[in-house]
Structure 1
Amino acid sequence: MFELSPETDDDWWEVEALYDLCFAPGREALSSYRLRDDVPPVRGLSLVARDGQGILAGAIRFWPVLVGEKKALLLGPVAVHPTRQGEGLGGWMIRESLALAAAQGWERVLLVGDEPYYGRFGFHRLDGVEMPPPTNPDRVLGASLCGDAWAGVRGKVTRAA
């Protein structure tokens, strides 16, 4: 059993250590990190999952961005501790956080990832949405949290003010 709660300032370094464990060295060199530089993750949507002993088992973060002039959320990273993988924790965090985002009035979410995995959460390839290079455009995915929120949304993804 896991408890999902909003990430706090006290969680920051523990979450960073989990991301370092789960992702390749140099993860912060990825182009998506340029959209996160000096921008805090969205409070209340960036979540941590802890087991019954309070041990960090997973984390998910969201960042505000603009696509053209439209607001969107950038999902990522999402990570599950290697000892807890295969238990459905990652999917649960994604579903719960997307429901929270919709309840907070967010309309659209994008990420860079594999469509076969993220498609089960409503993500599909976005045409005309340009992440900073050298992002593979086939991996730029989006999900609408209300109606068809991606209809007509095109342009470069930039940092939110």
Structure 2
Amino acid sequence: MSDLSLTILPETVGDAQPIERLHERTFGPGRFVLSAYRLREHVDHVLELSFTARIGTLLVGSVRQLPVCIGDTKALLLGPLTVEPPFRGRGVGRALLDRALGDAKAKGHRLVLLVGDEAYYSRVGFKAVPKGRATMPGPVDYGRLLVAELADGAFTDVSGAIRPDWSMAR
């Protein structure tokens, strides 16, 4: 990103529509059938743990985190992470991930889940959830279910259904 002045800021309420348009452009209408969207139907993402990437005033990326539980263990579900196509491969996604995970850890969160490409997300500490340890609503490719421990051993002995954190329900 040395050739661009990138700013990573916490998402605000006013960012909702521009982020939704970004999601429409990058993921299309099929995004609503994904299992992660089933979890997002009942609980809002956490604004203070969700971030935008801007170059000047131009929104070029976004990442959100949602409160979930794995069985009885509280966690965050990261996603969607999206970057405008012309700005991909320039460190925008990595900057968003670093900020999201760093702030989550600083606020005492211990686990972050996501459904995504292990080759990409392993660079920031995500690894595959062992088969059978966690389930999600709807269809999911369990080979893409990943977890990052923000505290050593945080995923040890954790298992169960991934569900919205109902204490945060709308």
Coarse TM-score class (shorter-chain normalised) = over 0.9
TM-score, reference length from structure 1: 0.96
Q: Comparing both chains, which one has the higher relative contact order based on Cα–Cα distances under 8 Å and sequence gaps of 6 or more?
A: 2
Amino acid at match of 1:24: G
Amino acid at match of 1:137: Y
CA distance in 2, matches of 1:139, 1:51: 31
How far does residue 25 in structure 1 lie from its aligned partner after superposition? Answer: 2.3
CA distance in 1, matches of 2:137, 2:124: 24
Which residue in 2 is equivalent to 1:36?
40
Q: Residues 1-161 of structure 1 correspond to what in structure 2 (within 5 A)?
A: 1-52=5-56, 54-127=57-130, 128-161=133-166
Secondary structure of 2:29 counterpart: coil
The runs of at least 4 aligned residues of structure 1 exceeding 3 Å deviation read none
What are structure 1's unaligned runs of at least 5 residues?
none
C-alpha RMSD of the superposition:
0.9
CA distance in 2, matches of 1:38, 1:67: 16
CA distance in 2, matches of 1:134, 1:38: 18
Amino acid at match of 1:26: G
CA distance in 1, matches of 2:54, 2:117: 26
TM-score, reference length from structure 2: 0.91
CA distance in 1, matches of 2:42, 2:22: 20
User: Identity over aligned residues, as a percent?
Assistant: 42
Amino acid at match of 2:63: I
Higher helix share: 2
